[in-house]
Structure 1
Amino acid sequence: MQIVHKLKQNAVVFGLLFAGLLVLFYPAYSNLFNQMQAHRMITDYRKAVDGKSDDTKKQEIAKAHRYNTKLINEKVPESFAKRLGIKHDSEYEGLLNPSGNGMMGIVSIPSIDVELPIYHYTTNEILEKGAGHLFGSSLPVGGKSAHSVITAHRGLPSAKMFTDLDELRNGDKFFIEVLGQKIAYKVDRIKTVKPEDTQDMKIIEGEDLVTLVTCTPYGQNTHRLLVRGHRVAYNAGDEVKEPTHRRIPWAHILCIMLGVFLAVDCYVLAVRLRRNKGR
């Protein structure tokens, strides 16, 4: 009976330790899980694109360009405001949707080690799993007089997303991939604005722009961080040439250190309790 009692005690102690470690390491393994999910979606997207003929891909991109042309004369913020609250738009959803799951492309930011799927819309559901395309902005296929807006969360405990977007600097490049076509953009403006200020997202005649958007300051989310890039020539292998600006994940490191400390502390305490009971 005494052996069984000790085994139960040990099981409880180790069970509590395991549960505590799961909670403490949640940011690390949750982010890893989300990265794996994003990688799977990106892989599936590329397979779906590879399964389409070159003519089909050209036709789909041409449709997106025609859609963008209709947006040129729309004024900001009215162009966004009139679409606010619309959950389904058949024309919009039918464009750049090769997998049929709402994924329209991929955004890659090598400087901060980010690669995310881009989905139609920017609803909470969409932003939990990747980046969203702002409905009312140009579709991300490039072209003159186009301005695409891509947004993603920052500071989620479960995923990195655009958490390190503030690490980008003027001159850094990011890349958009749509239907097998890769486009490079060089950062030329970094700005913080209020959520209702959309003037910096407007289309500028003759320019090909993409703006990446996330909340700021970190943990407060009272403003929006806008990182704008203009199109530059893309050459294969450009991604690996980008400088890195990776923030040290102090929160994860502190969680790991705290977890190890608590695990050792609980183990020592359990040993002492068993010894005291044995006297």
Structure 2
Amino acid sequence: MMQMLRKKILPFLLLAAGILLAATGLFKMWQGNSLKVPLSSQRAGVSENTEKEAAVQKDTSAPSSNDNAVLPEKFLKSRFANVLENKGLNNEKALYPDRPAQGDKIGTLTIPSLKMSLPIYEGTEDKELEKGVGHYAGSVLPGEADNCVLSGHRDTVFSGLQSLKKGDSIIVKTSAGTFTYRIRKIRIVEKEDTTVIVPRPAATLTLTTCYPFTYIGSAPQRYIISAYLK
């Protein structure tokens, strides 16, 4: 009797076990596929975020070496934008009713202690600096309230600047008159330092040249002289 029961029940047990195993396998396959979908989406989201972050980093990256080379000019244009904007509002009171054109001779720079008198030209490109002292077009003109910035080569017009000291006079003569400045500060800065050409509340004259004076090649620093109108 027992053997007959075993022969009849055993196939059913084997069939049930097979069905159970198959069901378990199908459940695991379904579970694995369901997990793959959000994982894929998550990876896509990470990739998209990474691309966005890369784009932001690219937009806010530091300027290239070419940008650094012309940074002073760009800096002047942004910092001294009010100079050109305010000209013409009160021309009857302005020292210079008309702004000079690029390359124009605008006056002379005299340094009594060095016994030298130098021509000043509008602009700081090579063609101006080869002839004399250059005036940064974005800054105010001599005698005006704010910061008038003049530049010259260390091995030509400004070769004697290192001999100046605090208290020395600098005289600038233009069509608006004669203006005498007294040196208040002398310092040496890195060439990327543009704090020397920021606007000033009072009439200021800033002389800049490359430093060291005897350096061979492109000098890494700048020699700065700040003088105030007497």
Task: Confirm or deny a common fold (TM above 0.5).
Answer: yes
1:125-157 per-residue CA deviation (whole Å, 9 max, x = no partner) reads 1111100001221122333xx1000111112xx
> Please, which runs of 5 or more residues in structure 1 have no aligned partner?
1-75, 84-90, 233-279
Q: Quick check: which has more Rg, 1 or 2?
A: 2
RMSD: 2.6
For the Cα contact (< 8 Å) 1:77–1:199, is it kept in 2? no
Matched residues in 2 for 1:172 and 1:128: separation? 26
Partner of 2:136: 134
Partner of 1:210: 205
TM-score under structure 1 normalisation?
0.46
Alignment CA distance shift 1:101-1:223 (3 Å): closer
- Structure with bigger RCO (C-alpha 8 Å, 6+ apart): 1
Matched residues in 2 for 1:115 and 1:104: separation? 14
Alignment CA distance shift 1:110-1:79 (3 Å): same
Paired residues for 1:168-179 under 5 Å: 168-179=164-175
Out of 123, 126, 131, the residue aligned to residue 124 of structure 1 is: 126
Paired residues for 1:221-260 under 5 Å: 221-232=219-230
Matched residues in 2 for 1:120 and 1:77: separation? 13
Moved over 2 A (4+): 76-79
CA-CA distance at 1:186 after TM superposition: 0.3
For the Cα contact (< 8 Å) 2:109–2:170, is it kept in 1? yes
Partner of 1:149: 149
> Please, which runs of 5 or more residues in structure 2 have no aligned partner?
1-71, 80-87, 89-95
> Residue 123 of structure 1 aligns to which amino acid in structure 2?
E
Matched residues in 1 for 2:203 and 2:75: separation? 18
For the Cα contact (< 8 Å) 1:96–1:104, is it kept in 2? yes
CA-CA distance at 1:78 after TM superposition: 5.5
Alignment CA distance shift 1:127-1:77 (3 Å): closer
Alignment CA distance shift 1:78-1:127 (3 Å): closer
For the Cα contact (< 8 Å) 1:142–1:183, is it kept in 2? no
Partner of 2:50: none
Partner of 1:95: 99
For the Cα contact (< 8 Å) 2:168–2:183, is it kept in 1? yes
**Identical counterparts, % of pairs:** 29
CA-CA distance at 1:219 after TM superposition: 2.7
Matched residues in 1 for 2:140 and 2:160: separation? 25
1:147-200 per-residue CA deviation (whole Å, 9 max, x = no partner) reads 000111112xxxx41101011000000011111500000000001111121112
- What SS class does the counterpart of residue 111 from structure 1 fall into? helix
TM-score under structure 2 normalisation?
0.55
